[in-house]
A and B are shown apart, each in its own frame.
Chain A
């Protein structure tokens, strides 16, 4: 077996990047990352960009914190629960995003600083990683993937230490794997299926132990993960009466309404091929290092299983039909790369050059993917905004851009109109970006409330403003306000025409949204 441990000396003279006063340097780096990420996100917001995942988490956090009651009915089935309640706790998903991002960047730089290569290579590789669009986009737009990456990083490192024990006791590592894997269950639905893969990996890693020990380890990790899954299921049942409500109910977050038209699904074989193609296109260096490590160890199966964990998650994502073509999720591989490089001695120049080449290739191909608009509009918007480029003339991108403009306009109007006595009727499950932009829930009448049905029955008596899906919105059939109101007025809800109500005037009649105000 390759002695990875022996190549892994901390504080080696060859790791000068953070060798002096590592702790202080890390703190400084984390602080800089926090400041940098916060400034960037605020700057983007100022320019009109709002990421859909952030908006979803933010709206659910608002509901949990501010109500209206019973807020749990609206939040209990939201996925991922860990980030929904985490955001509620710190009052903002951006805070969670920035904190997780800072830890992630700190970990990447710290790991790179420990590589047994010259400072030049450490800096070069760190720069190539941090400049990689996939990692950058992930840090800026998707708190869920940032948190997932962080937990995957921890899990992978723990699994690695189980394979090549260092100073921590084996029992302790297994316990920690249980804790970190259970966190994954509360972040990504595909991790529920991935649990089987994690358990198989663990079984293989503990091949030297007795079968009782291995079974016990699986029991431990499995139990904690099942607790996490059970928690999620229980919350769903408590909130909606359906333990798996998050899979089907709109506004659960597992498929964001604005992005569900971009969802991709494929069979298992096709999924594998597609994933491999994307991997080769966006993160070939990960595959390169993976094969390298497997080739030089006496436990290629175990090494392969550990490294394949994020790939398997992506595969399940596609197989389950939860995949949207976005670059952010490939940030996982970039973030994990330093950990793999740490296990790979790269003394020979040709190896260093090959890794550099792989990183440059990843960087360039990712830029090309973005530049050729092969990803979801949300990311195209962000990329163009970051690079100060004009938006492409593609219909989906333009439509998406139009929708975001409408959301901001409506949110601003509602904010200006929103007096304590003003009651606004809307379906927050679909129009969560407006709720997030509005940043308060006072006066809202939402589907989870007891008053909602009453307000629908007699809107002219109870409601001041109504926000519904626009005539051209693909969401108009799902809108819990538009549909019953249309039915009441004998209007075909599917018809691409605006909604009119007696006693209300139309304030905005956008393609995606319509706002009615009581006369």
Chain B
């Protein structure tokens, strides 16, 4: 150890940070007292020791004293003394008050030499002695005397990163790290390097190159990289970390009765803070010490958070993995989280929740319109029917025009090419933590593929925070997930069994555990473009501050399986590649798609998460975001899913979507004037056409087709009454131009994707649209009978194998 200290001393002296005399004193402090205290650290800790002394002598502890308003350290006072004096006598002058009392931080109380030195400077001054630990004193003196602490730390960091420097376990460096004067990361880098040296022999050259490559690109700690890549288990990592930190590991105890947890104590901290900083308070040890599970023993932020809550408390750390902390949070907060996941939006903004399907005024209007309709039919039968036809056809004409404009704009502004993220031109080292929520239910077969797809994401794995949202009772999927041996960035979140059993509820539950600055959702069968997260980060960093969400395109990997998958691909290509970019270009509200919507996590929380009572919670969230003044955009990246290949399954899925659209339309039309005020008239109108229009189109289209085919077969003349004069021309425009354009726009979307083999299938769209109508009527029925029922889509039916990467 003395060799290492000599090296450090030589370095500091050669760079002019410290004089040889001062170094002697520093060394003296470290060898004589710091080392002594370090020996005791495992038992009592420095601060506990100092507090005990302060208590015994009825003196204040400096940390507590500084928290009193008006108390601070006047750096000018220390200039009156040499560094040699401060370090040798171990004191630091803090404040000289008007009543000639000097607050002074000391290790040894009533030291005669200190009193003498101070009185030489301020004769007759009264001393108010405050207890300070040696590390704190050292840090104070260093920061005061060196003055150039940031540069100093940078130099130190550089020296620490050189392989030949072996001063990692020097008390001096540890002290600087623990007192926060060297970033924890720097110290941990060095710890990781030591671990690397131990691990190097166990890794193949390819693995070594991979790890070093990731580190060179992202700057993440080696330990994190190795654990995320699966070359080092979290527990193993904790073991190795413990060789330096000398703290107990509790991983084996989590989930057993052996771990004593003070539930009331844990409730005093915010779960999000605990999740973000990876800690969980276990219990009080004595009156002033708090035992806390931490993942990183050098994260000084944990102490700050605890001291904000419990000043002057000694933090006794024990080590745990990220999964341990997640388990503890889930174990002790699940009721609270579950309730919040279900009722948060309903409590905060009941008017925005679909928990209530129809409001009283809506019912009144519905009944009113029905009565008027019946009355009109009774007295003006043909006139009323003709008027309905006119309105329907007018609606279709406007809707066609609207979609044409959107599509042309959408086709113009975007290209579905998948560029490399390197071209996105931002520093990969600045990448934030990215949370990926993956709600899974009864899908054990897709878990291994899902995990492989997640591994393929071109995002630093140590910055990935994947939450697998599993239903508590879904043991099959849970077992499959465990058996898949997921990498370190995957955490299992068990959703407590409760109603409604919907995806948005699971996502809301997962949101509590999310650590990422950004968050996205993938379904279990999703294969996102590898660079999707990077593109989303880029979009957020380059987007306006109120950009709350970006939606990636969805498409299908089994598109050539059968008629249904081909048509579904045509539809999705049109929706995500033409319409949504068109909506974005005009800054209209965007109803989000089922998955691959990327959020700013803080804004998502502000929005209240998803509505668990809405079966298209994503579409609802998109509109809600627009109403609150946030922007929703689209990104040029695709997630490939499994297209529904069975008609019955397809209709069930589609009925849920359309029911959700109905819910969303009803929710945001509870007070149309308010909606117009919030969205603006243009956006409101666009929303009416996009959400309301979809419902009307699917419900009315079969009626119009029926009339048409009836006329074609029978040539009944009474039908003339339904289409007088202009209505006939409008109907012809809808029939010919509407269908032609609908088909054409579908063609153009797959053309852009270069799915040439699908082009002729677009001609069959009118048949496919009838399936939509069937689903719409099913949705309408369910809206009245089972509004919150989640028609679960069966996945894994496709015979086409997914290919990741």
Contact = CB atoms under 8 A, between A and B. Distances in A.
Interface in B714-732: 720, 724-726, 728-729, 732
B748 A171 contact: yes
B780 interface: no
A27 interface: no
Nearest to B735: A234
Contact of B728 (A72, A174, A220, A230): A72
Contacts of A220: 744, 747-748, 751, 759
B756 A213 contact: yes
Nearest to B744: A224
B646 interface: no
Interface string A202-225: 000000000011011101100110
Contacts of B728: 72
Given A175-B748, A231-B740, A70 B412 contact: no
B318 to A, nearest CB: 58
A224 B751 contact: no
A235 interface: yes
B751 A216 contact: yes
A176 B751 CA distance: 13
A172 B412 contact: yes
B759 A71 contact: no
A227 interface: yes
Given A169-B412, A172-B411, A72 B744 contact: no
B763 to A, nearest CB: 8
B756 A212 contact: yes
A168 B412 CA distance: 7
A85 B748 contact: no
Given A67-B725, A70-B720, A174 B751 contact: yes
A85 B759 contact: no
A215 B411 CA distance: 20
Given A172-B412, A174-B751, A72 B729 contact: yes
Interface residues of A, number: 34
Given A171-B752, A216-B751, A224-B740, A88 B759 contact: no
B744 A178 contact: yes
A69 interface: yes
Contacts of B752: 169, 171
A64 interface: yes
B748 A216 contact: no
Nearest to A217: B751
Contacts of A212: 756
A171 B411 contact: yes
B649 to A, nearest CB: 31
Contacts of B725: 67, 69, 71
Given A85-B729, A178-B744, A219 B759 contact: yes
Contacts of A175: 408, 411, 748, 751
A2 B743 CA distance: 37
Interface residues of B, number: 25
Nearest to B748: A175
Given A71-B725, A224-B740, A231-B740, A216 B412 contact: no
A71 B743 CA distance: 29
Contacts of A215: 756
B415 interface: yes
Contacts of B412: 168-169, 172
B737 interface: yes
Nearest to B415: A169
B736 interface: yes
A385 B313 CA distance: 104
Nearest to A219: B759
Among A67, A71, A88, A172, max chain B CB count under 10 A is at A172
B584 to A, nearest CB: 16
A515 to B, nearest CB: 29
B123 to A, nearest CB: 80
Nearest to B754: A213
A238 B728 CA distance: 12
B744 A223 contact: yes
Interface in B559-597: none
Contacts of B726: 65
Interface string B737-759: 10010011001100110101001
A280 B759 CA distance: 44
B747 A223 contact: yes
Given A69-B725, A224-B740, A231-B740, A171 B751 contact: yes
Nearest to A64: B729
Interface in B381-432: 408, 411-412, 415
Given A70-B720, A171-B751, A172-B412, A216 B756 contact: yes
A220 B749 CA distance: 11
A70 B724 CA distance: 9
A370 B763 CA distance: 49
Contacts of B743: 223, 227
Interface string A443-487: 000000000000000000000000000000000000000000000
B420 to A, nearest CB: 19
Nearest to A76: B732
Nearest to B733: A85
Nearest to A238: B732
Contacts of B740: 224, 227-228, 230-231
A103 to B, nearest CB: 17
A469 B539 CA distance: 72
Nearest to B747: A220
A171 B749 CA distance: 9
Contacts of A67: 725
Contacts of B729: 64, 72, 85, 88
A380 to B, nearest CB: 37
Interface string A227-250: 110110011001000000000000
A227 B743 CA distance: 10
A168 B754 CA distance: 17
A214 B792 CA distance: 42
Shortest 10 CB-CB distances between A and B: which pairs? A227-B740, A216-B756, A175-B748, A231-B736, A171-B752, A172-B411, A212-B756, A224-B744, A172-B412, A219-B759
Given A213-B754, A223-B744, A235-B732, 15 more contacts: A64-B729, A69-B724, A168-B412, A172-B412, A174-B751, A175-B411, A176-B408, A178-B748, A212-B756, A216-B754, A224-B740, A227-B736, A230-B736, A234-B736, A235-B736
9 contacts: A88-B729, A169-B752, A175-B408, A179-B744, A216-B756, A220-B748, A230-B736, A231-B736, A231-B740
